[in-house]
A and B are shown apart, each in its own frame.
Chain A
Amino acid sequence: MSLPKREVEGRHGFPGARRGLGAPRGRLLRKYIVVILLLVGGVLVLSSAVDLYFSYQETKTALMRLEREQAVAAAARIERFVQDIERQVRWTTQAAFAEPAAASEQREIDYLRLLRNVPAIAEIRHLDASGKEQLRVSRLALDAIGSQEDYSQSPKFVLARAGVTYFGPVYFRNESEPYMTIAVPTGEYGVEVTVAEVNLRAIWDVVSQIRIGKAGYAYVVDSVGHLVAHPDISLVL
């Protein structure tokens, strides 16, 4: 703004140039200061912006790393929980007797012990080689011996019989209690199946306790993307 004005003055006010010498010099100084300030300020702003950008990126990476670590840790805890239960269930499946009556009695005692020692297991059942239920011991429902209920077409029987540990989808008992079915092959040749119904609230607790910063949280989805655990449980139900 001041630049064209001064030029105009310089051209037309020739005779009075000496008189006005002090004023233009002051203006020049001011101009330099402004330019320098603008330059320095600009560089500062630019460098701060670059700095900010990099530190933002760094923070973002660090946060992502933190989140990933938390997620891995949570996953490890969940895995340990499930593996522990699977191991406990497998432990009951080593029948020591060949004679059916003795084996069945031993199995019932094993199941009772299992329910006492592992509070997360609510129910455990034994399916014979044809997929029929021979024994059921439950914490909440009635027990049954030789009910002959047929599970031969059920994936828990089919998969477990094929030698794979079956982990069922999460389901809810009484609308609000998360459960999962775990089935393992049993017997010397793995032709029978032991099925456990497992309460997953312990997993909910693990997940709801994870806090990252002020607003960070963790949630769990199952293999088909259904929400299984979230600090806001109402989203899961």
Chain B
Amino acid sequence: MKDVLRASGALGGVALLAALALLAGDAGAQATRRPYRIGVLNEAWAANHPTVEGLKAGLRNLGFEEGRDVAFDIRFTEGNPEATVTAASALVGAGVDLLFTSNEAATQAAKSATQKIPIVFTLVGDPVAAGIVAKLAQPGGNLTGVSSLTTELVPKRLETLKTLVPSVRRVWAVFYADDPSSMAAVSKAEEAATRLGLLVLRRPVRSPPELERAFEEIRPGDALLPPDIATMDIPASILEVSLKSRIPAVFPASLWVGHGGFVSYGSDYHAQGVQAARLVAKLLQGARPQDLPVEGADKIDLAVNLKTAALLGVTVPRKVLLRADVLRR
């Protein structure tokens, strides 16, 4: 009897100890778990790119505290393609848990740097045309993200231009010749042009002199359709020509309207960061990137610069004013 008692007592004790040990182990794991490390890669000129700020805000809303739950290793490469590739391998070498990229070049660099670490991309205008994912619904591989719908929204961009400047006929699509997404976008523009009574003229360029020559062909009364990607700084050059020669240009993002661009129709950068934060959170909680479909950008903005409109001699119709999400005065 005593033996039995002793044995059961001992057993109980062991069980209790085991339970305590388990609990303690659990608590210890919770307290000492290091924050997830997110490697951020983009070609921006500063660490506080709107998509990165959006990501941070989005993660905060989802309960991920910076420093406690997540840490960011931000690499911005100031538009330098080689630096982007180097930074991508550096982030992979540093052993980050996840990569967050903004724009096509950074995403491609991250994609070639790792096939293991999950990558969440933003500011990719056409992930399929760019060869980043096989299908939007089943991205496959280690990438998923937010598509900025650049190609899909090209007709809308031309429509906005036509509404603002009904007299316009010829639209120049100047873009970097080796960029597949720009090509997809221009083809889409050509398709839509006839329905809008426009003529899209494609001018693929590879070098600054070619870019100069393309600009020389533009006549007053024409318009410009800048590409989404900043290779060779083409959008900035188009902005300059647009303001100098008073040629209306319709940009893919409101950022350009902030810098004096006439009008833009496209997804909001900050909102894309917030949207991508949901994907990031799911991946950190154990989801696999190949199971998360690529999402189309949620927030699409029409932005108009009224000062530039006045400079170009355009009266902005009521319809556009009503629709505009951003009006720069």
Contact = CB atoms under 8 A, between A and B. Distances in A.
B158 to A, nearest CB: 9
A140 interface: yes
B155 interface: yes
A222 interface: no
B136 A119 contact: no
B149 interface: yes
B156 interface: yes
B264 to A, nearest CB: 14
Q: Which of A108, A139, A199, A205 has the most CB of B within 10 A?
A: A139
Contacts of B135: 175
Q: Which of A112, A116, A138, A199 has the most CB of B within 10 A?
A: A112
A176 B278 contact: no
Interface string A204-237: 0100100000000000000000000000111001
A176 B300 contact: no
Interface in B38-62: none
Interface stretch (B169-177, B178-186, B290-298): B290-298
A98 interface: no
Nearest to A177: B296
A116 B299 CA distance: 10
B1 A176 contact: no
A108 B138 CA distance: 37
A17 B135 CA distance: 94
Contacts of B152: 140, 174
Nearest to A137: B323
B14 interface: no
A115 B323 contact: yes
A119 B268 CA distance: 13
Contacts of B292: 233
B192 interface: yes
A229 to B, nearest CB: 13
Contacts of A177: 295-296
A176 B298 contact: no
Contacts of A172: 137
A71 B192 CA distance: 45
A234 B323 contact: no
Interface string A98-118: 000000000011001101100
A37 interface: yes
Given A115-B323, A140-B149, A174-B136, A201 B295 contact: yes
Interface string B188-202: 000010011000000
B322 interface: yes
A143 interface: yes
A116 B293 contact: no
A234 B293 contact: yes
Given A113-B322, A115-B323, A142-B192, A37 B4 contact: yes
Interface residues of B, number: 33
B23 to A, nearest CB: 16
Interface in A80-113: 108-109, 112-113
A29 B295 CA distance: 78
Contact of A142 (B137, B147, B195, B323): B195
A23 to B, nearest CB: 19
B120 interface: no
Contacts of B159: 142-143
A37 B2 CA distance: 13
A45 interface: no
B325 interface: yes
Given A119-B299, A142-B159, A175-B293, A237 B137 contact: yes
Given A115-B323, A205-B278, A142 B1 contact: no
Given A33-B1, A141-B155, A176-B295, A116 B323 contact: yes
A237 B1 contact: no
Nearest to B4: A37
Interface string A22-39: 000000000001000100
Contacts of A237: 137-138, 293
- Which 3 interchain pairs have the tightest Cβ spacing? A176-B293, A175-B137, A176-B137
Given A109-B319, A141-B155, A175-B136, 4 more contacts: A142-B196, A174-B147, A177-B295, A234-B137
Interface of B: 1, 4, 135-138, 147, 149, 152-153, 155-156, 159, 192, 195-196, 278, 282, 290-296, 298-300, 318-319, 322-323, 325
